[in-house]
Structure 1
């Protein structure tokens, strides 16, 4: 008798569950059911391209206030002039420690960004030279277009050049973060001694 009641209770429960599933699934076909965290897809924030009544000009994407600097941005307060180049050459020193890891990282970055022009060993024999472009000077034997031997370039002069570019070399400020530039400079100093 007890076993029969258990089967009756389980059978009734199963029928009730099946009936509730059928009834709730046949209601509104457009309904997705209960909403879980609706603010995940119905956010109250304005999209950048939406009009926004909170600002006088009605735009959501506003210009940042004058003089503000993005979080994590490091300024380089030397102008893109010959004087700025010379001043950076005297005052700017690498903040990174001379470690094997930094040198290895610098080598990888140099091979990706610099070797197409400067060559794998910094001799100015990269792939672009093989396609008819003028060769950059060798790091160990060449002369800088700004005067002096390439092997005597300081941290600041190389950083200034990577940041602003010179002659046919464009700026790499958008491709290399400041710490990456310092790693490349560490590797260039290695190539200056070859």
Structure 2
């Protein structure tokens, strides 16, 4: 009798589970059922493009307070994009990195990726873009003269950094492509190209 009750109880439990499964699966066709980590689908935080009742203007993506510096960002405000800022950068900035084989190699790789299309692999101003004939050649690092005056071979760390930061003539800014440390490595390699070849 006990064995028969146990069988009946297990059978009823099985039928109850099957019925519950059928009813729960037919409840809402759009339902995904149980979700693992539902906060991945329904985030707690507001998306940047959502209206936000917390702020008076209703915008989630607020402009940062004036004078704030993002994490990992180096400010360059003390040297504005003016001839005076360029001259001040010439004497006011020097590379914080030491010249090592590793830094030079990384600088060369970055130079070849970002600079050589215009400046050429050896810095002679004969890059692939120039060879197309649609753009004028930039001056050679070892023998040319800068459009701002002076020989290219005499460009200082600060002048090159300022040019990478803001761009010059047809060269646009590379501030968004190269981190400050990468810029110093490129400058380190450019100093090698400034030497007579």
The TM-score range, normalised by the shorter chain, is: 0.7 to 0.9
Cα shift at 1:20? 5.7
Q: How many angstroms does 1:54 deviate by? A: 1.3
Aligned residue for 1:25?
21
Query: Who is 1:107 aligned against?
Result: 108
Residues 81-160 of structure 1: pairs in structure 2 closer than 5 A: 81-132=82-133, 133-160=135-162
Distance 1:182 1:151 in 2: 17
TM-score, structure 1 normalization = 0.85
CA RMSD of aligned residues (A): 2.4
Give ranges in structure 1 of 5+ residues lacking alignment.
Answer: none
2:58 equivalent in structure 1: 58
Between the aligned partners of 1:70 and 1:130, the Cα distance in structure 2 is 39
In structure 2, how many angstroms separate the alpha carbons of the residues matched to 1:111 and 1:15? Answer: 74
Q: Distance in 2 between matches of 1:13 and 1:154?
A: 88
Q: 1:38 to 1:128 in 2, by over 3 A?
A: closer
Provide the rounded CA distance (Å) in 2 between the counterparts of 1:146 and 1:186.
21
Deviations 1:121-159 (A, max 9, x none): 100000111111111111111111112111111111100
Q: Per-residue deviation at 1:21? A: 5.2
Residue 22 of structure 1: CA displacement?
2.7
Partner of 1:73: 73
The partner residue of 2:181 within 167, 176, 179 is 179
Match of 1:170 in 2: 172
Measure the CA separation in 2 of the matches of 1:38 and 1:190: 55
Query: Which structure 2 segments of 5+ residues have no match?
Result: none
Which moved further from structure 2: 156-165 or 144-153?
A: 144-153
CA distance in 2, matches of 1:47, 1:134: 45
